[in-house]
Structure 1
Amino acid sequence: MSGQDDGLLDDTGFLLAHASGVIVRMTNARLAHLDLRVRHYSVLALVCDRDGLSQRDIAEFLGMDPSPVVSLIDTLEARSLVLRRPHPSDRRAREVRATPDGRAMRDRARADVAAARQDFLAKLTPDERGQLLTILRNLALDGSDPGRPDRVAISDA
């Protein structure tokens, strides 16, 4: 590695993005036997935890553009893992609900996600893992992002 590249090793944004890429690849490899990827799992897990969310709420909570979220939901719906219905209070919106098969798939996938996380964090002590989680929560939930997950208002629409 050249001296010019060394600056990236001190760049928090680069390191976070790189670490994210590593754990996503590890998790995707673990989920492959279920024909899922991290993004599918994220949508499915969220819908299982919060049934009846609108597609817009899902996109906002996950910090994604709505178009790819609709595509992910299309894939999950084609596999009968979720279903979409007109939202009860807004005819323009669609709510997303997990099916029993979707809940079973989320439960199977959860073990694979946990195993990938365990592998990824294996170099850290239990105390360091706890510190990392605390630090990431502080960074992600610091108030500077109006779309942060703990502040996303789940709308009636």
Structure 2
Amino acid sequence: MSSAGHALFGLLHVYKRALRERYLKAGITLPLSHLRVLREIGGHQGVMARELAEALLQDKGLITRVTRELEREGLVERHPHPSDSRAAHLRLSNDGRALHERINAIEQACDAQMTAALSDDQASAFIRTVNAMTEQLDRPQESP
């Protein structure tokens, strides 16, 4: 008998493999972690590393390291924060925006393949279910 966790692990493994294969076929060799950060930055006009860490459920130190690597690659730019002189706003460069568009197209094609056998209602229910599971696991555990 399969558990929810086992099924999710299987899906994540196959989804990551499918994305990696599509990215490599398109000549995109950055690690998936970098592409996730790039994609999240692309969804904002300017975002701080702390906000990226919260949105991606990752450690701020890891996000800072990845954003610095993306900056060295010329994909991300740092701009002064409008109201906090100690902080920086991260934005995509022109090259970063072009790559963002390419990864969006690849992810949309992969998502379409993944949900091809589902009705719109089933796909929506899946998304709601996964989001509810994520929220549940992200809550602090009560002690017995």
Q: Which has the higher contact order (CA 8 A, sep 6+)?
A: 1
Whether contact under 8 Å (1:54, 1:94) holds in the other structure is yes
Distance 1:106 1:144 in 2: 28
Q: Distance in 2 between matches of 1:131 and 1:101?
A: 36
One-letter code aligned to 1:15: A
Aligned residue for 1:14, secondary structure, equals helix
Is 1:58 matched up with 2:70?
A: no
Deviation at 1:127, TM superposition (A): 3.6
How far the C-alpha of 1:23 sits from its partner, in A, is: 0.8
Question: Distance between the aligned counterparts of 1:124 and 1:143, measured in 2?
Answer: 26
User: How far is 1:124 from its partner?
Assistant: 3.3
TM-score with structure 1 length normalisation?
A: 0.73
Rounded Cα–Cα distance in structure 1 between residues aligned with 2:54 and 2:120: 32
Please give the TM-score of this superposition, normalised by the length of structure 2: 0.78
Structure 1: gaps (5+ residues):
1-5, 147-157
Distance 1:73 1:137, change over 3 A: same
Q: Residue type of the partner of 2:13?
A: G
Map 1:131-146 to 2 at 5 A. Answer: 131-141=125-135, 145=139
Q: CA RMSD in A?
A: 2.5
Rounded to whole Å, the distance in 2 between the matches of 1:87 and 1:74 is: 17
CA distance in 2, matches of 1:141, 1:50: 23
Find the counterpart in structure 1 of residue 78 from structure 2.
84
Q: Does 1:13 align with 2:5?
A: yes
- Whether the 8 Å CA contact 1:31–1:37 is kept in 2: the answer is no
Distance 1:28 1:144 in 2: 27
Structure 1 residues 1-157: aligned runs within 5 Å? 6=1, 9=2, 11-32=3-24, 33-141=27-135, 145=139
Q: Distance in 2 between matches of 1:145 and 1:43?
A: 23
Identify unmatched segments of 5+ residues in structure 2. Answer: none
Q: Percent identity?
A: 28
